[in-house]
Structure 1
């Protein structure tokens, strides 16, 4: 089996990469993100979904172009460093690691909430330990487990769509597209929904573990995004048709509430089980992505050098994976799931702003710069449209990272 120059094993083909991306995108977000997005946008939910999809497409296109040119672990951390300079690469890496570590904790807590609500934190920590062990055993094992998880989740979501649209309680009038939440509400909904779309970054961060990355990554990213968009649109239309935007915005478990409203309450436990499995899939892919970015940053001295080690047998960044797992386990034992989502969205949108700025430099042609320009503007606008607390906390954490970078540079210059 081919190895990359760093010793990571190249085992993933196009199908594996698509599945890993889907495991991140068609995960717990589809079960939880629709409700707060509907609460923010009201009848503009589908408009928010469209905005998120357009920005996600721009970001995915920019990421695919860059990943083909720089097929190494680290994603936008590497692209920003190579195209814009060391600081911008560091900012992207810091945003990704911190934001996605919060996402890991949120997904772990989602597992706990669906499996055993009274012991959600205990289940969350156990899930982190188990999935960290799976990742430690090699990326191919992770890909196979993700494949099984995606199959289960897609089956559950398909059943929700069929039940809702096939029931006599579905009404096309509930799909009335307006903007009762205003432009700000639509943009906030787009930012919240982007939290679920952003999983295609996991494909790029695995650049050293895919076969023929210059061909595989540009094919896998748009394929994964296209399938995820189709799934989200189908589920959103189905759920809105029975709950309406007001009912969806107030729902604690929107998909389970939708099948009850459709007259099939017996399907609700299956939906809850699917949500737990989906959260596991998202958590698995997130740990993969964060550990690879940590590996790249450790190689460059922005994180402890010990995290750059690659296991001699499994060819995975085992110390980075263990460190990420330990931090996520601590967060999962102490934080609230709702506190992590907005902050994670802010960090990820900053990450993609750097990706689009990097892609802007690839060609001086105006036509080639249109997509990265749209992605850059869209990412920034959605980031500042998130809830005020999320923006404030996110900006504060980024400032801490920038301060640490400055201190390191100052110490190195002395």
Structure 2
């Protein structure tokens, strides 16, 4: 019988963990490549990414309430579709989110000093070893600070005088602009990177009190707050910079306050980006380590990683392994490439989650079938329209994962 984790998280803690993962460094970085793809139609891409996130969140919340165990879609896939589909979901999540961890650490280092990226991963891995409640407490402080910084960006961008004239502020496209459907889809896939944090709530299902009630409520609240914040930031950024300047900015939100005539806020935005990266990194480390724990329990990863610390009730070996993998990846990672690669892996993960939700019956709390079906279709579509390098790298990694699974099963593990 595998050792179980302690249920210590209430609704507020679960919402904070989800917010710290979603309202993280993605909002400080993802709008630039998304604007480069969608141009004046960035708000449409944001709405589409929000729709995909809503469908995925609905399916994930219903499944997490039914199966309140660590591992998220890895568990659901095994239960509803079979071991291979569960494994592919877990593989995609683990590899994709390890890339996300590297992206968050790189963002932190970019705003302070690159060598600090490794130190941030090591420090947050150490914090996570002290238990999930302490991690949630740190996340609460981070979320409050980042929301305050984003509020300052939005107010400055919307009210500043030194801004460009841009039609989307009035919710109208620029004169003569034509919608680029492929660009909008690609931008939605990139923006999805910034929404995907609600998975942290599901992957912590074994540590949530009253999961059937807490998980759906926490996911809904966290996603709703995040979408409102992102919509306000997008409007403010487009009003202050316009799509071309936004697309070319290495630090888009710093560019917003600078263009709006408040350069004194640039260091504050930099601090917000660094702190947001820490919050997202902490939540990601928690989520990935729990998926590793679940996969190790089923021997899809080495069984030694399934050990739970009896004193602190945390998967210590899994957390240390994930932290070490992220530090290694930092040596070769590229921020924009990591965003695309992570989006591909996580879209596949949620595609499997929606497929699992389609197998649920009414008595099992099935979500509306159109919601799960739309989520599955959009996940496949957005994954296919990501930048070619991201798609090719993602397919290669999944091919390697499938080869590993086939080898282990033919060898009898």
Whether 1:55 aligns to 2:49 is no
Distance, in Å, in 2 between the alignment partners of 1:270 and 1:404 is 46
Is the contact made by 1:174 and 1:242 (CA closer than 8 Å) also made in structure 2?
A: no
Distance, in Å, in 1 between the alignment partners of 2:235 and 2:103 is 25
Q: In the alignment, which residue of structure 1 is the partner of 2:157?
A: 164
Distance, in Å, in 1 between the alignment partners of 2:311 and 2:266 is 43
Question: What's the secondary structure of 1:302's corresponding residue?
Answer: coil
Cα offset for 1:412?
1.4
Is the contact made by 1:47 and 1:177 (CA closer than 8 Å) also made in structure 2?
A: no
Instruction: Pick the aligned partner of 1:350 from 348, 351, 374.
Output: 348
Q: In the alignment, which residue of structure 1 is the partner of 2:265?
A: 267
Question: What's the secondary structure of 1:334's corresponding residue?
Answer: coil
Whether 1:104 aligns to 2:101 is yes
Deviations 1:364-400 (A, max 9, x none): 8998211100000000000000000100000000000
Q: Which moved more, 1:229-238 or 1:178-187?
A: 178-187
Matches within 5 A, 1:245-324: 245-324=243-322
Cα offset for 1:333?
3.0
- Give the alignment's TM-score, normalised by structure 1: 0.95
Deviations 1:238-288 (A, max 9, x none): 111111111111111110011010000000110011000000001000000
Is the contact made by 1:40 and 1:181 (CA closer than 8 Å) also made in structure 2?
A: no
Question: What's the secondary structure of 1:11's corresponding residue?
Answer: coil
Distance, in Å, in 2 between the alignment partners of 1:296 and 1:401 is 16
Distance, in Å, in 2 between the alignment partners of 1:173 and 1:242 is 11
Query: Structure 1 pair 152/160, CA: closer, same or farther in 2 (3 Å)?
Result: same
Distance, in Å, in 2 between the alignment partners of 1:291 and 1:279 is 18
Q: In the alignment, which residue of structure 2 is the partner of 1:131?
A: 124
Question: What's the secondary structure of 2:371's corresponding residue?
Answer: helix
Is the contact made by 2:344 and 2:383 (CA closer than 8 Å) also made in structure 1?
A: yes
Cα offset for 1:167?
1.4
Distance, in Å, in 1 between the alignment partners of 2:6 and 2:126 is 18
Question: What's the secondary structure of 1:313's corresponding residue?
Answer: coil
Cα offset for 1:402?
0.5
Deviations 1:35-82 (A, max 9, x none): 100000011100000100001000000000000100000000000110
Q: In the alignment, which residue of structure 2 is the partner of 1:153?
A: 146
Cα offset for 1:6?
3.3
Cα offset for 1:128?
0.4
Matches within 5 A, 1:84-95: 84-95=81-92
For this pair of structures, how many residues does the alignment match? 406
Question: What's the secondary structure of 1:362's corresponding residue?
Answer: coil
Whether 1:173 aligns to 2:167 is yes
Q: In the alignment, which residue of structure 1 is the partner of 2:19?
A: 22
Q: Which moved more, 1:143-152 or 1:173-182?
A: 173-182
Deviations 1:83-126 (A, max 9, x none): 1111100000000000000110111111100012xxx1x21110
Q: In the alignment, which residue of structure 2 is the partner of 1:205?
A: 203
Q: In the alignment, which residue of structure 2 is the partner of 1:39?
A: 36
Cα offset for 1:363?
2.8
Matches within 5 A, 1:319-338: 319-338=317-336
Question: What's the secondary structure of 2:375's corresponding residue?
Answer: helix
Cα offset for 1:328?
0.5
Cα offset for 1:180?
4.3
Distance, in Å, in 1 between the alignment partners of 2:97 and 2:344 is 10
Deviations 1:336-374 (A, max 9, x none): 222211110000000000000000000389982111000
Instruction: Pick the aligned partner of 2:187 from 179, 183, 189.
Output: 189
Is the contact made by 1:41 and 1:180 (CA closer than 8 Å) also made in structure 2?
A: no
Q: In the alignment, which residue of structure 2 is the partner of 1:230?
A: 228
Question: What's the secondary structure of 1:412's corresponding residue?
Answer: coil
Query: Structure 1 pair 147/109, CA: closer, same or farther in 2 (3 Å)?
Result: same
Q: In the alignment, which residue of structure 2 is the partner of 1:409?
A: 409
Structure 1 gaps, min length 5: none
- Give the alignment's TM-score, normalised by structure 2: 0.96
Is the contact made by 1:46 and 1:177 (CA closer than 8 Å) also made in structure 2?
A: no
Structure 2 gaps, min length 5: none
Query: Structure 1 pair 368/181, CA: closer, same or farther in 2 (3 Å)?
Result: closer
Deviations 1:158-210 (A, max 9, x none): 00111111112354625333774610000000000000100000000001111
Distance, in Å, in 2 between the alignment partners of 1:207 and 1:8 is 10
Q: Which moved more, 1:300-309 or 1:364-373?
A: 364-373
Cα offset for 1:7?
3.0
Distance, in Å, in 1 between the alignment partners of 2:398 and 2:93 is 10
Q: Which moved more, 1:244-253 or 1:83-92?
A: 244-253
